[in-house]
Amino acid sequence: MKKKILTKNDIFLVLGLLAVFALILLILHFTASPGKEVVVSVDGKEISSYPLSEDGTYLIKGAGGGTNLLVIESGSARLTEASCPDHLCVHMGSINKAGESIICLPNKVIVEIRSSLGEDTDYDAVVGG
């Protein structure tokens, strides 16, 4: 059986997939809203939330004793330090729109932006201010 490498169907397939890609971008763009607060969850449970408008540095205690350092500055949030081996979360950069998130899989930490203010919860710890 002759094995084909690239057929016309393949090209249609890729064009179709690219069209879906454009669709995904459009949907995300039009449903994005400016963020109001930063929500921190560990292992699926919401631990704390902070308003994006107030600068602050917070130490997040993740799963298995891991830690991440959350910095909120000038309306954006980012992780500047992490105890995990790969540091993907630190390299993610900063987020500020509702729905955006930074994730640290090893520590099971998720930092996301919410567009409406929720209840106040206790802080894990406050470092600096």
Minimum CB distance to other proteins smaller for 4 or for 128: 4
Mark 82-121 with x for binding to other proteins (rule: CB under 8 A) and - for no binding. Answer: ----x-x--xx------xxx-x-x--x-x-x---------
Say how many residues touch other proteins, by CB under 8 A: 31
Token digits of residue 120 = 């106040």
Minimum CB distance to other proteins smaller for 7 or for 74: 7
Token digits of residue 79 = 């992780």
Mark 5-44 with x for binding to other proteins (rule: CB under 8 A) and - for no binding. Answer: xxx-xx--xx--xx-xx--xx--x------------x-xx
Q: Does 128 bind other proteins (CB under 8 A)?
A: no
Rg over alpha carbons for the chain, rounded to the nearest Å, is 19
Beta carbons of 75 and 64 less than 8 angstroms apart: no
Beta carbons of 7 and 84 less than 8 angstroms apart: no
Q: How far is the CB of 52 from other proteins (least distance, A)?
A: 15
Beta carbons of 92 and 81 less than 8 angstroms apart: no
**Dihedrals phi, psi of 23, to nearest 5 degrees:** -60, -45
What does the binding site for other proteins look like in residue numbers (CB under 8 A)? Answer: 3-7, 9-10, 13-14, 17-18, 20-21, 24-25, 28, 41, 43-44, 86, 88, 91-92, 99-101, 103, 105, 108, 110, 112
